[in-house]
Amino acid sequence: MVSQSTKSTKRKRQIEKEQHTSKILVKNIPFQANIKEIRELFRVFGELKFVRMPKKIDDEHHRGFGFVDFVSKNDAKVRLGKTKT
């Protein structure tokens, strides 16, 4: 059995890890949203390579999450609020 403090310590380390990629995971995307809207929402933080929203197998709607890939890793860090001031 893993103690609660061990779980929270592991989670802290995971959160504090340095950003090594320009791709971020976006959760809780409304099912009515489309790729164009997500692209418009995130492009204010920097130039985007692509936006991908996986679809359900037997449905035309996306699964409620997606990936936004920025051209530069620094733009992704800005979006995540991890820049040093």
pLDDT tens sequence across 27-72: 999 999 999 999 999 999 889 999 999 998 887 789 999 999 998 8
| All domains in the chain, ordered by first residue | 19-80 (3.30.70.330)
The predicted model gives 4-15 an average pLDDT of 58
Task: Specify the pLDDT at position 77.
Answer: 77
Q: Which residue has the higher pLDDT, 20 or 32?
A: 32
10, 34, 37, 45, 50 from 40: Cα distances, Å: 34, 10, 5, 10, 12
Count Cα neighbours of 6 within 13 Å in the Cβ-side half-sphere: 3
